[in-house]
Structure 1
């Protein structure tokens, strides 16, 4: 199951041993991690190949396409049937281990195909160029936002491009309030993380930001990462959602400006 090789003539030796004990062999169940592994029959005799083939069954330990497998059709049913907590715990850990091995195996399959493709023509140089561009992508995404709001970030009083891939809108304060608020936009290869938060340097600040800014359209999809600390709101948007990022920032700037004008 962990991609170990079978011993030389392992199955025929098992088969012949059980036959000598005068048992009937109903089935030989072979359990690789996935069903793409089969025994090596190079040193098998012809009658062994014929006899074993009749009762040989491959049951993969795990399957992504709902075929019969050890995890779903045996181990999980054992877990549901058992009332022994130690047995249940052991079986659950075993299922987790098999799933972990499967993920690693799939990664190796993908890497093997990728490796073979890299050896063709200029594919390696192309891949290196793409990797370098991906490394520079977060900074480019941040620069696009920076250029758009460099001279248009009011009512925030401070604005900067921080650590190459982070844009910070800072210094928004309501009338008669010492506390201030900020918006951080962190850019990654996979997309954007937006944080709207109160300035933690201000003592006695209101913790519930949505209570301070009720009915803000721009904040409706933001959530708190910590139920016990709702002074930070967070939203993740995907790589293809730059327009939504811009829409949220534009809307937030308008709503904050209107909020500040309220008496």
Structure 2
């Protein structure tokens, strides 16, 4: 049930065709897990908070650094050297005191990932390393939870959504995980910010049924040239993560085309241009 205050608070989005009060109630009853609460995950969490998500679980280890401040809009200068996820919680609850925010001052690990995913309705995969991404992907497959996958490097970014039982998974899409230094590439804050807005929108679509998420589609973005493209993605029937689930086999027409990795390395992915 939405209170009179909430009806006024969210009135502008409730006015959207096909959104309405029902979608708002769905958001209020939902929990989103956001991993990697930085320029990407933190900004996505912000837009989920202002949209009226019921509960956010923020997961990120480590303290705020000075070189984080060009993109992490939930942070303040006086917080440098302190756990960033605690500041993210504080800022989000100031912006929207009607939502619940849980801060987990840890990285995603084999020990905590299952409990985190089980406590959530959707996961936003935004950490800065492939180890955490792979752990979250496998847990979402195990527990049947949708995962919005977002990553960027320099001026390039990609976005897709995985739904266990309906689509492939992260390992199907990116079977090869290159080594990379998470601080070896430059970041202009508006790039993760742009991707974060789309990531939050994707999560809202999944949770509410409003419009169509990027199921079995990979959106790639070259923000230097403002060029966007979609590629169809397929499940790998021999995927070590989701291959044993009851999913349809990949079509024979599947193409393996090389696209740019967010680590700025060429790799093979299971995609086809749309």
The answer to whether the superposition gives a TM-score over 0.5 is no
Greater percentage in strand: 2
Greater relative contact order (CA < 8 Å, ≥ 6 in sequence) = 2
TM-score (norm 2): 0.22
State which structure, 1 or 2, has the greater radius of gyration over its C-alpha atoms: 1
TM-score (norm 1): 0.23
